[in-house]
Structure formats: C-alpha cells, structure tokens
Amino acid sequence: MDVVRFKNAFLIPSEKPGRYIFYAPLRNQLFWLSEDAAQVLRDHLEEGAPIPERYRLLQDRIDAVLAKEEQGVRPSTMANRNRLVILLSQICNLACPYCFAHEAHSNEIIDRDTLSAAIRYVLAENQSAQKRFIFLGGGEPTATWELLTWAVDYIREQSDGQRCKISVVSNGTLLTESRILWLKEHKVHVGLSFDILPDVQNRQRPFPDKRKHSYDKVAAALELLLANGMNPSVRSTITPDCVTRMPEMIEHLHAHFPGVRGMTFEQVSQDGLEKTDYYDLFFDSFFKAREIAERYGIHLRNSTTTSVLFPKERACSGELCLTPTGSLVACHRASSVRDPLYDRFLLGSVDTAVHIDPERFERVVSFSNEKREACKTCFAFWNCAGSCPNNRTAYSEAQFEALCRFTQRMIRHELETALDRASKG
C-alpha cells in the first residue's frame, strides 16, 4: 500500500513488516496500526467504505483526530532581522574540496564601516528580542582575527544591555589558547567543523600545500576548548569517502575528546550522489552511530532528523547574511558573484547604511515558498517543507528525487523511533 493522505493526515507503510503509521503532524497525533486496520482505514478514507463494527475503537479514534483543530506551524520570519550571519572574508587556510566556497575564494575582506552599519541595523530592530550574530566560515573567520575581535567588541559596546548571542564557526586550525581564552572571556560560542578521524580530516580538510596535517591542529584546539570549559559544538561533513565510518567517528570522539556532548553529521552536497548507494549507506551508518553515541551520552544530530521536532511552513526562512563585499544575501552558500545562484539570493547591500531591495526581498520570499507538486501530498512535507531552496535550484531532477527519498526514509525512521520509545513508557 502506498502512502494515503487525507486532510493533512497520513497513513504510512512502516519499514517494520505488517505495521503502518498514522501521522497527523498539525494535530500532533502519531500511532501504530496493524496491516489489517490500515487497509480498513485506507478503504474508509479513500473510498468512503464503512469501518466494520469490530474496528469501532479505530473509528472513534480517527473521528476524534480529524475533529481536532489543526495547529499552526512555527512561524518563520523571512531573513530575520534579529539575526545576522557575517562572512568577514573569503580568505581560508584550508582547501576542503566540498566547501560551498571553494571556487569563490578571494582576498576580499569586509571593511569596518560596512560591518558596523550592519551590526547597528540589527541592534536597532526590535530591541526587546535576543540578537544573534554568527561569524561563519567560508573564509575562515579566525584568519582575520583582529577584525573578528573588533567586531565582537563593537557588538558588546553597541548592544546597550540588549541580549546578544555571538558565535563563531571555525575550522579550528588557527585557535591558540590565548584566542580561546579571549573568546571565553567575551562569551563567544565556538562551533568546530571537524571530520574527527585523522585520515578523513587530513584528506577532506587539507592545507593547500598538503605538507601539514590539519587533524593535529584541530584536535589540539578542541582539547584546549574542552580544558577551558568552552563546550564547543562539532559538525562533520559526511562524504561518500567516509559514509560508512560514522560509528568509528563516534568511538574516536568518545575516546579522544570525551567532553564533547553534541555532535552533528551532515550529508554532503555534491554531484553524482544519485548514481550511488550513498544515501542508503548514510542511513544505516548514521543510526548505528547514534546508538553508540547514546551509550556515551553524546547527542548526535542531523538536520533531517531534527526537523521532525519542528513542523514548519518553509524549509528555509533565508538568512540575513553579510558578505565580504558588503552585499546582503539570503543564503551564505551563494555569497559571491562567482556563485551561480548569487543573483537569486541577493537581498541588497550595506555601505554606511543597510539597503534591502523590496522587490528582491519579495522575490526571495516567493522562491522560498515554492514547492514541487510532489511535496504537497508527501507525509514529510511539514518536516522538510520542500527542502533547501538552494538544493531545489541547483540539483537536477534525479539528484533531487534521490535526496527526497532519503529525507522520507530518515523522517519515517524518526517517527517509528518516537513510537517505539512511547510504547516503552
């Protein structure tokens, strides 16, 4: 039996033989059904067939579910102006082949007048709301250390008592103890992009000259962060080269960096994945790794599995991202004129003030709200909400179909996991 949809409720075949899932995300309902009960319900929903008396409890439950008022999904403000993603430069000391910016690197560095104007703009918006400033890599933010520290100081000086959360996402190779202590003193959260296993890290995140090993640098930085009570978040990009090694990565993390309590494994974006078994291998390896992580008290995440917790109306609400040239874009993966999708995500510019083009803004909103026809009847719709707009544009139909099947499988597994945990009390 295929997936059955009725009034934003779904009857979904489980990967467990003889079982089905009833899922109504906007009514907060999720429960198991037997194969026989699922067939009865399918005939009732699709063809109007009466439900036999022996399934009276099923009839009552379904009637009660469908009578419930649908709850709205979490609102998502486009290009939230309480949150600024900052790319200080295009300078990077690594040459990661899968980096979104690996073909866009240049010597561009943002000037302080532009940066300060953008910071003031965010601080002036809705002053009662918490503000977030994220210094993202793609240029490595610590490669322009003096500019980074100046910007953090400027945010703190200008915030005038406002709640501000500041974070920096780094490749870790330039983090010395003195820099780590400075970040700690200024309450800056550190996220590390780190591929965990020495051979994987050195191969996937190499220095351009290949003579030095990046693993040693990042491992030393992670140890210093933990020793100084910084509790960094760690994210690994899972390529076909290391897709079966996620359990090994968790074992290595626990053995060598036991203070890490949060870990993220994300699937890579690259051409050709639809022609391989990459997504099936990722599925199997990720959930084996998560079982190991749970035993060690490590919370292992993936953006697809996390999406089950937060039904949403659109996959991405767009960033307010400041680029090194002073442009504002809705996606940091399209932050340079060299990027094919740059014009698609361009919102405006910053000089001594912020200029958001209303027509471009509305175009980005419309683009982000677009859905493929198949999405509208998919049980995963309210979780993935049509997928990343960047992927939706950049991927071929075959690539997107492969990603879509993977997303459905991951979300179905999370629904089954939630049901199993609930049954165990």
The answer to whether residue 165 is domain-embedded is yes
Q: What is the pLDDT of residues 155-182, one digit of tens each?
A: 999 998 899 999 999 999 999 999 999 9
Mean pLDDT of 131-146: 93
Answer whether residue 1 shows pLDDT above 70: no
Q: 137 and 192: one domain?
A: yes
pTM above 0.75, yes or no: yes
**Domain boundary pick from 324, 340, 362:** 362
The answer to whether residue 285 is domain-embedded is yes
Q: 286 and 353: one domain?
A: yes
Whether the CB-CB separation of 241 and 276 falls below 8 Å is answered with: no
Q: 200 and 332: one domain?
A: yes
Q: 235 and 88: one domain?
A: yes
The answer to whether residue 201 is domain-embedded is yes
Instruction: Look up the CATH number of the domain holding residue 96.
Output: 3.20.20.70
Instruction: Give exposure, 364-386, as e/b (b: 16+ Cβ within 10 Å).
Output: beeebeeeeeebeebbbbbbbbb
Q: 68 and 98: one domain?
A: no
The answer to whether residue 324 is domain-embedded is yes
**pLDDT band (50, 70, 90) for residue 425:** low
Strand ranges of the sheet holding 19-24, from the earlier edge strand across to the other edge: 4-6, 9-13, 19-24, 29-34
**pLDDT band (50, 70, 90) for residue 125:** confident
**pLDDT band (50, 70, 90) for residue 241:** very high
Pick the most confident of 301-310, 314-323, 359-368, 406-415.
406-415
* Domain carrying residue 259: 83-362
The answer to whether residue 88 is domain-embedded is yes
Q: 90 and 214: one domain?
A: yes
d(CA 361, CA 323): 17
The answer to whether residue 413 is domain-embedded is no
The answer to whether residue 156 is domain-embedded is yes
Q: 23 and 167: one domain?
A: no
Residue-level pLDDT at 377: 80
Q: What is the pLDDT of residues 277-302, one digit of tens each?
A: 999 999 999 999 999 999 999 999 99
According to DSSP, the residues that pair with 85 across neighbouring strands are: 134, 321
**Domain boundary pick from 343, 362, 381:** 362
Q: 253 and 175: one domain?
A: yes
Please state at what angle helix 246-256 crosses helix 278-295, rounded to 10 degrees: 30
Mean pLDDT of 113-132: 93
**Positive/negative CA dihedral, 297, 299, 305, 310:** positive
Give me the residue label for tokens 């100084």. 228
Q: 63 and 104: one domain?
A: no
- C-alpha angle 260/263/269, rounded to 5°? 150
The structural domain count of the chain equals 2
Residue-level pLDDT at 95: 87
Q: 115 and 138: one domain?
A: yes
